[in-house]
Amino acid sequence: MSRIPSSGLERIVFFSDAVMAIAITLLILEVRLPAGAASPDVGRQVLALWPKYLGYFVSFWVIALYWVAHHRCFQHIRAYDRGLINLNFLFLLFIAFMPFPTGLLFGHPTQVASVTLYAGTAAGMGLSLGLLWTYAVRRRFIVPGFSRRKIRDIRLNLFLPPLVFALTIGIAFLDTTVAVYAWLLLVPVYVFRRLRERSLALRP
């Protein structure tokens, strides 16, 4: 199949933005008082919802980080074909799925099912976007003159988080609390990558 000129790319990016915007905004629907809450208890119940606020906050930033990653990839992509569209839909499938594992994890935080489903969804986002980038590079959809080092850097940025999430799925079967704390490994990884980028003066 021949490559399509970049004119349709705008519609793909637009559609992706809309899906990410909706998924990020639907997260709030998981935060609710229990039905039939009586007024005198409202203060206590609002405080008791803290795991839900945390869930809203964490998943909001997870989607936000992937929006930035998607943004960076598509800044350098200049053509597309059906394969790229399919990989982009695979990425969006995981994004739009996010409200479910978010509700699950922050409703039942110590359950193996919650931790593995959340880690699996987050890993799926990174993996599918990483595949999309690899595919775009192989099909020569990237702007000409984009350096190999930057291409490799973006790829590493995309594949590192799913690797960490996949590892913690294994850990979750032994101890769910350790698995969740293991996600914090992503913070030093992220900080290190960002510092390295700055020193290389890579554009975000």
Residues that bind a copy of itself (CB under 8 A): 1-2, 4, 8, 11, 13-15, 17-29, 31-33, 37, 39, 42-43, 46-47, 56-57, 60-61, 64, 67-68, 71, 75, 81-82, 85, 89, 92-93, 96-100, 103-104, 107-108, 110-114, 117, 197-198, 201, 203-204
Q: Are 169 and 119 in contact (CB under 8 A)?
A: yes
Exposed, middle or buried, 102 (CB in 10 Å: 0-12/13-18/19+)?
Answer: buried
Q: Which is closer to a copy of itself, CB of 124 or CB of 162? A: 124
For the bound state, the minimum distance from the C-beta of residue 54 to a copy of itself, rounded and expressed in Å, comes to 13
Q: Are 152 and 109 in contact (CB under 8 A)?
A: no
Cβ neighbours around 54 below 10 Å, total = 13
Report how far residue 44's alpha carbon sits from residue 57's, in angstroms, rounded to the nearest whole number. Answer: 20
For the bound state, the minimum distance from the C-beta of residue 47 to a copy of itself, rounded and expressed in Å, comes to 7
Q: Which is closer to a copy of itself, CB of 47 or CB of 144? A: 47
For the bound state, the minimum distance from the C-beta of residue 181 to a copy of itself, rounded and expressed in Å, comes to 20
For the bound state, the minimum distance from the C-beta of residue 183 to a copy of itself, rounded and expressed in Å, comes to 19
Report the candidate in 73, 67, 71 with the shortest Cα–Cα distance to residue 146: 73
Q: Which is closer to a copy of itself, CB of 59 or CB of 137? A: 59
For the bound state, the minimum distance from the C-beta of residue 95 to a copy of itself, rounded and expressed in Å, comes to 8
Report how far residue 122's alpha carbon sits from residue 21's, in angstroms, rounded to the nearest whole number. Answer: 17
Q: Which is closer to a copy of itself, CB of 117 or CB of 119? A: 117
C-alpha distances in Å from residue 26, one per residue of 86, 99, 115: 24, 7, 20
Q: Which is closer to a copy of itself, CB of 97 or CB of 146? A: 97
